[in-house]
Amino acid sequence: MSVAWADVVNEVGAVFEIAIVNASSANPFGDANANLFFPRAIEQAEQRLYRELDLITTQTAQTASLTPLGRNIAIPGGILILQELNIVTPAGTAPDLGTRNPVQRVSLAFLNRVAPVAAAPLGSPSVPSWYALLDDVDVRLGPAPDAAYQAEFIGIIRPAPMTAANPTTWLGTNLPDLFVAGVNVAMAGYQRDFGAQSEDPRLALSWESSFQELKKSAVVEEQRRKAQSAAWQPYSPAPLASPPRS
């Protein structure tokens, strides 16, 4: 069973006894403060799950065109963590129509030493072999490209959050129990005014305990999805088959 925006609203309203005016609305509750905090509770649950589970659904591939003799390029598509970078040959060819040339990540100091001149190609053709991050949005290549090659960036993004306008998300569809538990952890803090949880911590701790327990099975499932389970296969771990297969 999956959950959408209205389902989460109804869950929160029932658990925390908050009056609901319209579950499908962007302001679903009769309490104005609850309406202000509810999107933050969803945001906290989503960010927590994306960071802690390393979900493969957050991985994407984006392309950008290099500038001849220019070795700096912005990372496209809202990628937060760059995992791979490929240069596609011949120049101007889309990734699936050409040849991907993997670019090795190195330190900026190494790159500036092996490719010290910004606009100097290395041979012909000059296809970048190394890259380094300048900051969180820019990459420096070396050597400089001699043509407008297509660069393929593979990395991690943040999917669009659950809102009244975007009621269905991957988390709500595939991890509904864990997602709702995460929302309720934040809502418990809101209802107990956070600091006041120390006076009656049972509600927040109960939801946090539930969240942690549910997360264990979610981690196993995600490892199976990425073939990181036993023997690097997409199967559930088998306690009796713990020795690696020869």
Q: How confident is the model over 2-59, as pLDDT tens digits? A: 999 999 999 999 999 999 999 999 999 999 999 999 999 999 999 999 988 989 999 9
H/E element, 153: strand 150-156
Is residue 178's pLDDT more than 70? yes
> Is the per-residue pLDDT at 243 higher than 80?
no
And the tokens for 192? 């107990």
pTM, entire model: 0.79
Q: Sign of the CA dihedral 167, 171, 176, 181?
A: negative
> What is the pLDDT, as a whole number, of residue 218?
73
The answer to whether residue 110 scores a pLDDT higher than 90 is yes
Helix or strand or coil: residue 112?
A: helix
Nearest of 5, 11, 62 to residue 39 by alpha carbon: 5
Measured distance CA(190)–CA(33) in Å, rounded: 9
* Omega of the bond leading into 90 within 30 degrees of 0 (cis): yes
Measure the CA–CA gap between 149 and 121, rounded to whole angstroms: 13
Q: Which residues of 106-134 are buried (b: 16+ CB within 10 A; e: fewer)?
A: beeeebeeebeeeeebbeeebbbbbbbee
Inform me whether the pLDDT recorded for 118 exceeds 80.
Answer: no
The helix (run of H) or strand (run of E) holding residue 46 is helix 32-53
Predicted local confidence at residue 141, as pLDDT: 95
Residue 194: which pLDDT band, with cuts at 50, 70 and 90?
A: very low
Q: Name the pLDDT band for 223 (thresholds 50, 70, 90).
A: confident
What percent of the chain has pLDDT above 70?
82
Q: Which pLDDT value is given to residue 57?
A: 94
Give me the residue label for tokens 């005016």.
Answer: 21
In this structure, are residues 38 and 164 in contact, taking their beta carbons and an 8 Å threshold?
no
Quick check: 134 pLDDT over 80? Answer: yes
* Average pLDDT of the segment spanning 166-176: 97
What's the rounded Cα separation, in Å, for the pair 154 and 13?
A: 40
The dihedral built from the CA positions of residue 30, 34, 40 and 46, taken in this order, carries a sign that is: negative
One DSSP character per residue, 159-223 reads PPPP-SSS---HHHHH-HHHHHHHHHHHHHHHHTTGGGGGTSTHHHHHHHHHHHHHHHHHHHHHH
Q: Of 18, 28, 55, nearest to 167 (Cα)?
A: 28
The CB-side HSE value for 159 (13 A sphere, CA atoms) comes to 23
- At 197, the pLDDT band (50, 70, 90 cuts) reads very low
In the prediction, which pLDDT does 25 show?
A: 97
Handedness of CA 204, 206, 209, 213 (dihedral sign): negative
Interatomic CA distance for residues 233 and 129, integer angstroms: 32
